[in-house]
Protein backbone atom coordinates (compact mmCIF):
# COMPACT_ATOMS: atom_id res chain seq x y z
CA UNK A 1 0.00 0.00 0.00
CA UNK A 2 2.88 2.41 0.76
CA UNK A 3 4.19 1.97 -2.79
CA UNK A 4 0.74 2.76 -4.19
CA UNK A 5 0.51 5.89 -2.04
CA UNK A 6 3.94 7.02 -3.24
CA UNK A 7 2.76 6.68 -6.83
CA UNK A 8 -0.30 8.77 -6.01
CA UNK A 9 1.94 11.41 -4.40
CA UNK A 10 3.97 11.60 -7.63
CA UNK A 11 0.81 12.22 -9.64
CA UNK A 12 -0.33 14.94 -7.23
CA UNK A 13 3.10 16.59 -7.47
CA UNK A 14 2.84 16.54 -11.27
CA UNK A 15 -0.66 18.07 -11.41
CA UNK A 16 0.36 21.78 -11.25
CA UNK A 17 2.88 21.20 -14.03
CA UNK A 18 0.29 19.38 -16.15
CA UNK A 19 -1.97 22.43 -15.81
CA UNK A 20 0.91 24.80 -16.56
CA UNK A 21 2.05 23.06 -19.75
CA UNK A 22 -1.31 21.95 -21.13
CA UNK A 23 -1.55 23.22 -24.71
CA UNK A 24 2.05 24.48 -24.65
CA UNK A 25 4.64 23.50 -27.25
CA UNK A 26 7.90 21.91 -26.13
CA UNK A 27 10.67 21.28 -28.67
CA UNK A 28 12.82 18.26 -27.82
CA UNK A 29 16.14 17.58 -29.52
CA UNK A 30 16.55 13.83 -29.45
CA UNK A 31 19.98 12.32 -30.00
CA UNK A 32 23.09 10.81 -28.47
CA UNK A 33 22.73 7.66 -26.35
CA UNK A 34 18.96 8.16 -26.33
CA UNK A 35 19.04 7.07 -29.97
CA UNK A 36 21.58 4.24 -30.04
CA UNK A 37 20.52 2.44 -26.84
CA UNK A 38 17.27 0.59 -27.58
CA UNK A 39 16.08 0.56 -23.97
CA UNK A 40 16.59 4.32 -23.57
CA UNK A 41 15.10 4.95 -27.03
CA UNK A 42 11.86 3.23 -26.06
CA UNK A 43 11.75 5.00 -22.69
CA UNK A 44 12.18 8.46 -24.27
CA UNK A 45 9.46 7.93 -26.88
CA UNK A 46 7.11 6.46 -24.28
CA UNK A 47 7.63 9.59 -22.14
CA UNK A 48 6.98 11.85 -25.14
CA UNK A 49 3.76 9.94 -25.85
CA UNK A 50 2.72 10.53 -22.25
CA UNK A 51 3.32 14.26 -22.77
CA UNK A 52 0.90 14.14 -25.73
CA UNK A 53 -1.77 12.40 -23.65
CA UNK A 54 -1.65 15.02 -20.87
CA UNK A 55 -2.11 17.87 -23.35
CA UNK A 56 1.45 19.00 -24.10
CA UNK A 57 2.47 19.57 -27.75
CA UNK A 58 5.94 18.04 -28.16
CA UNK A 59 7.90 18.49 -31.38
CA UNK A 60 10.92 16.23 -31.86
CA UNK A 61 14.07 17.21 -33.76
CA UNK A 62 16.42 14.25 -34.09
CA UNK A 63 20.08 13.95 -34.85
CA UNK A 64 21.91 10.83 -35.92
CA UNK A 65 25.64 11.50 -35.71
CA UNK A 66 26.68 8.04 -34.45
CA UNK A 67 24.61 6.24 -37.11
CA UNK A 68 25.96 8.55 -39.84
CA UNK A 69 29.54 7.87 -38.70
CA UNK A 70 28.87 4.15 -38.62
CA UNK A 71 27.43 4.25 -42.16
CA UNK A 72 30.35 6.30 -43.46
CA UNK A 73 32.74 3.77 -41.94
CA UNK A 74 30.99 1.01 -43.91
CA UNK A 75 31.62 3.01 -47.08
CA UNK A 76 35.23 3.58 -45.90
CA UNK A 77 34.71 7.35 -45.81
CA UNK A 78 36.53 9.18 -43.03
CA UNK A 79 34.54 11.48 -40.72
CA UNK A 80 36.06 14.91 -40.02
CA UNK A 81 34.75 17.55 -37.64
CA UNK A 82 35.43 21.22 -37.03
CA UNK A 83 34.03 23.09 -34.01
CA UNK A 84 31.63 20.20 -33.41
CA UNK A 85 30.30 20.25 -37.00
CA UNK A 86 30.73 17.42 -39.50
CA UNK A 87 32.59 18.47 -42.67
CA UNK A 88 30.12 17.42 -45.38
CA UNK A 89 31.19 16.85 -48.99
CA UNK A 90 28.60 16.23 -51.71
CA UNK A 91 29.21 12.48 -51.38
CA UNK A 92 28.78 12.59 -47.61
CA UNK A 93 25.67 14.76 -47.95
CA UNK A 94 23.94 12.05 -49.97
CA UNK A 95 24.66 9.52 -47.24
CA UNK A 96 23.64 11.93 -44.46
CA UNK A 97 20.27 12.56 -46.13
CA UNK A 98 19.73 8.86 -46.74
CA UNK A 99 20.47 8.00 -43.09
CA UNK A 100 18.59 10.88 -41.44
CA UNK A 101 15.47 10.96 -43.61
CA UNK A 102 15.21 7.43 -44.97
CA UNK A 103 16.33 5.43 -41.94
CA UNK A 104 16.41 7.22 -38.59
CA UNK A 105 13.35 9.42 -39.07
CA UNK A 106 11.14 6.51 -40.07
CA UNK A 107 12.43 4.31 -37.24
CA UNK A 108 11.52 7.01 -34.70
CA UNK A 109 8.09 7.51 -36.29
CA UNK A 110 7.36 3.77 -36.16
CA UNK A 111 8.45 3.46 -32.54
CA UNK A 112 6.45 6.54 -31.44
CA UNK A 113 3.35 5.15 -33.16
CA UNK A 114 3.89 1.85 -31.37
CA UNK A 115 3.35 3.67 -28.06
CA UNK A 116 0.18 5.40 -29.27
CA UNK A 117 1.39 8.68 -30.74
CA UNK A 118 0.11 9.99 -34.07
CA UNK A 119 3.67 10.55 -35.26
CA UNK A 120 4.54 11.87 -38.68
CA UNK A 121 8.05 12.44 -40.05
CA UNK A 122 9.19 15.46 -42.04
CA UNK A 123 12.49 17.02 -43.03
CA UNK A 124 13.36 20.63 -43.72
CA UNK A 125 12.66 20.21 -47.43
CA UNK A 126 9.01 19.27 -46.80
CA UNK A 127 6.82 22.33 -47.23
CA UNK A 128 10.06 24.34 -47.40
CA UNK A 129 10.11 24.03 -43.61
CA UNK A 130 13.81 24.92 -43.22
CA UNK A 131 15.41 27.32 -45.69
CA UNK A 132 19.17 27.08 -45.41
CA UNK A 133 22.42 28.53 -46.69
CA UNK A 134 26.13 27.96 -46.06
CA UNK A 135 27.20 27.87 -42.44
CA UNK A 136 29.34 30.89 -41.51
CA UNK A 137 32.23 30.17 -39.19
CA UNK A 138 33.24 32.72 -36.58
CA UNK A 139 36.86 32.00 -37.38
CA UNK A 140 39.68 33.30 -39.57
CA UNK A 141 40.73 29.75 -40.37
CA UNK A 142 40.08 28.72 -43.97
CA UNK A 143 37.95 25.61 -43.42
CA UNK A 144 35.51 24.43 -46.08
CA UNK A 145 32.60 22.76 -44.30
CA UNK A 146 30.98 21.77 -47.60
CA UNK A 147 27.22 21.21 -47.38
CA UNK A 148 26.96 22.19 -43.72
CA UNK A 149 24.11 24.65 -43.45
CA UNK A 150 22.68 27.23 -41.13
CA UNK A 151 19.03 28.11 -40.76
CA UNK A 152 18.02 31.04 -42.94
CA UNK A 153 14.26 30.89 -42.40
CA UNK A 154 11.72 28.64 -40.70
CA UNK A 155 8.36 28.26 -42.43
CA UNK A 156 6.42 26.64 -39.60
CA UNK A 157 3.03 26.38 -41.34
CA UNK A 158 3.31 22.61 -41.84
CA UNK A 159 4.21 22.05 -38.16
CA UNK A 160 1.46 24.41 -36.97
CA UNK A 161 -1.10 22.36 -38.88
CA UNK A 162 0.27 19.04 -37.62
CA UNK A 163 0.12 20.29 -34.01
CA UNK A 164 -3.46 21.53 -34.40
CA UNK A 165 -4.45 18.12 -35.81
CA UNK A 166 -2.84 16.41 -32.78
CA UNK A 167 0.06 14.84 -34.68
CA UNK A 168 3.52 14.40 -33.17
CA UNK A 169 5.94 16.00 -35.67
CA UNK A 170 9.36 14.36 -35.93
CA UNK A 171 11.82 16.55 -37.85
CA UNK A 172 15.02 15.46 -39.62
CA UNK A 173 17.53 18.38 -39.73
CA UNK A 174 18.01 18.58 -43.50
CA UNK A 175 17.64 22.09 -44.93
CA UNK A 176 16.68 23.25 -48.41
CA UNK A 177 19.05 25.55 -50.27
CA UNK A 178 18.03 28.29 -52.67
CA UNK A 179 18.49 25.97 -55.67
CA UNK A 180 16.98 22.91 -54.04
CA UNK A 181 20.26 21.48 -52.76
CA UNK A 182 20.31 19.68 -49.41
CA UNK A 183 22.16 20.99 -46.37
CA UNK A 184 23.29 19.09 -43.30
CA UNK A 185 22.31 21.27 -40.33
CA UNK A 186 23.26 20.56 -36.74
CA UNK A 187 20.13 19.21 -35.02
CA UNK A 188 20.73 21.30 -31.89
CA UNK A 189 20.72 24.50 -33.94
CA UNK A 190 17.59 23.43 -35.85
CA UNK A 191 15.82 22.72 -32.57
CA UNK A 192 16.60 26.21 -31.28
CA UNK A 193 15.28 27.90 -34.41
CA UNK A 194 12.15 25.73 -34.47
CA UNK A 195 11.47 26.47 -30.80
CA UNK A 196 11.62 30.20 -31.54
CA UNK A 197 9.45 29.94 -34.68
CA UNK A 198 6.81 27.89 -32.82
CA UNK A 199 6.86 30.21 -29.79
CA UNK A 200 7.66 27.16 -27.67
CA UNK A 201 7.51 27.31 -23.91
CA UNK A 202 10.57 25.09 -23.54
CA UNK A 203 13.51 23.82 -25.55
CA UNK A 204 15.02 20.60 -24.21
CA UNK A 205 18.25 19.14 -25.58
CA UNK A 206 18.97 15.52 -24.71
CA UNK A 207 22.68 14.71 -24.71
CA UNK A 208 25.28 12.20 -23.48
CA UNK A 209 26.50 14.18 -20.48
CA UNK A 210 24.85 15.43 -17.30
CA UNK A 211 24.72 19.01 -18.58
CA UNK A 212 27.19 21.89 -18.67
CA UNK A 213 30.20 21.26 -16.44
CA UNK A 214 32.17 23.98 -14.67
CA UNK A 215 35.24 21.84 -15.31
CA UNK A 216 34.84 19.73 -18.45
CA UNK A 217 37.23 17.15 -16.96
CA UNK A 218 35.22 16.80 -13.75
CA UNK A 219 31.79 15.14 -14.02
CA UNK A 220 30.87 16.30 -10.50
CA UNK A 221 31.08 20.00 -11.49
CA UNK A 222 27.58 20.18 -13.02
CA UNK A 223 26.16 23.70 -13.30
CA UNK A 224 22.42 23.57 -12.60
CA UNK A 225 21.65 27.03 -14.02
CA UNK A 226 23.48 29.78 -15.88
CA UNK A 227 22.63 32.89 -17.87
CA UNK A 228 23.32 33.71 -21.51
CA UNK A 229 26.18 36.04 -20.50
CA UNK A 230 27.75 33.38 -18.29
CA UNK A 231 27.49 30.81 -21.10
CA UNK A 232 29.20 33.18 -23.55
CA UNK A 233 32.07 33.77 -21.11
CA UNK A 234 32.52 30.00 -20.73
CA UNK A 235 32.64 29.57 -24.51
CA UNK A 236 35.21 32.35 -24.85
CA UNK A 237 37.29 30.68 -22.12
CA UNK A 238 36.91 27.33 -23.96
CA UNK A 239 35.33 25.76 -20.86
CA UNK A 240 32.43 25.02 -23.20
CA UNK A 241 33.89 23.38 -26.30
CA UNK A 242 33.38 20.76 -29.02
CA UNK A 243 29.91 19.33 -29.42
CA UNK A 244 28.58 21.39 -26.51
CA UNK A 245 29.06 24.64 -28.49
CA UNK A 246 26.10 24.14 -30.88
CA UNK A 247 23.92 23.06 -27.95
CA UNK A 248 24.64 26.23 -25.99
CA UNK A 249 24.29 28.41 -29.11
CA UNK A 250 20.92 26.74 -29.72
CA UNK A 251 19.78 27.67 -26.21
CA UNK A 252 20.99 31.25 -26.63
CA UNK A 253 19.25 31.69 -29.99
CA UNK A 254 16.00 30.28 -28.61
CA UNK A 255 16.05 32.50 -25.51
CA UNK A 256 16.86 35.63 -27.51
CA UNK A 257 13.87 34.91 -29.74
CA UNK A 258 11.16 34.40 -27.14
CA UNK A 259 11.53 30.84 -25.80
CA UNK A 260 11.00 30.94 -22.05
CA UNK A 261 13.28 28.17 -20.75
CA UNK A 262 16.01 25.99 -22.24
CA UNK A 263 17.45 22.83 -20.76
CA UNK A 264 20.39 20.51 -21.51
CA UNK A 265 19.61 17.08 -20.03
CA UNK A 266 21.36 13.74 -19.78
CA UNK A 267 19.33 11.47 -22.08
CA UNK A 268 20.80 8.42 -20.34
CA UNK A 269 18.82 9.14 -17.16
CA UNK A 270 15.55 7.16 -17.16
CA UNK A 271 12.54 9.47 -17.62
CA UNK A 272 14.74 12.59 -17.77
CA UNK A 273 12.02 14.50 -19.64
CA UNK A 274 9.33 13.75 -17.08
CA UNK A 275 11.63 14.57 -14.17
CA UNK A 276 12.44 17.96 -15.71
CA UNK A 277 8.91 18.90 -16.74
CA UNK A 278 6.65 17.40 -14.06
CA UNK A 279 8.62 17.46 -10.79
CA UNK A 280 10.04 20.02 -8.37
CA UNK A 281 13.54 18.61 -8.86
CA UNK A 282 15.08 19.77 -12.11
CA UNK A 283 18.01 17.87 -13.60
CA UNK A 284 20.75 18.86 -16.01
CA UNK A 285 21.53 22.51 -16.81
CA UNK A 286 18.99 25.27 -17.39
CA UNK A 287 20.14 28.23 -19.51
CA UNK A 288 18.13 31.42 -18.94
CA UNK A 289 18.16 35.05 -20.00
Fold of 22-288: Carbamate kinase (3.40.1160)
* Percentage of the chain lying above the pLDDT 70 cut: 92
pLDDT band at 75 (very low <50, low <70, confident <90, very high): very high
Residue 265 has pLDDT above 70, yes or no: yes
What residues are designated binding site for substrate? 64-65, 86, 184
Average pLDDT score over the chain: 89
Please report the pLDDT score of residue 136 as a whole number. 82
Residue 74 three-state SS? helix
Polymer length of the chain: 289
pLDDT band at 4 (very low <50, low <70, confident <90, very high): low
What residues are designated binding site? 64-65, 86, 184
pLDDT tens, position by position, 202-214: 999 998 888 888 8
Stronger pLDDT, 216 or 250, i.e. the higher one: 250
Please report the pLDDT score of residue 15 as a whole number. 75
pLDDT tens, position by position, 156-181: 999 999 999 999 999 999 999 999 99
DSSP string over 189-245: HHHHHHHHHTT-SEEEEEESSSS-BSSTT-TT-B-SEEEHHHHHHHHHTTSS-TTHH
Whether the pTM exceeds 0.75: the reply is: yes
- Dihedral over Cα of 112, 114, 117, 120: its sign: positive
Residue 7 has pLDDT above 70, yes or no: no
pLDDT band at 39 (very low <50, low <70, confident <90, very high): confident
Amino acid sequence: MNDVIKKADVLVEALPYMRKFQGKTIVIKYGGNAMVNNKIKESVLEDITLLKYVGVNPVIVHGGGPVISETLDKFEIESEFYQGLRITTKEIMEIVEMVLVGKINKEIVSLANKFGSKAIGVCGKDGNLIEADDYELNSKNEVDLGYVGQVKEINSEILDKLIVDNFLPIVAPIGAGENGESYNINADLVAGHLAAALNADKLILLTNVEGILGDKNNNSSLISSLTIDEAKIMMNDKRIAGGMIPKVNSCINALENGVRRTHILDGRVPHALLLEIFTDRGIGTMVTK
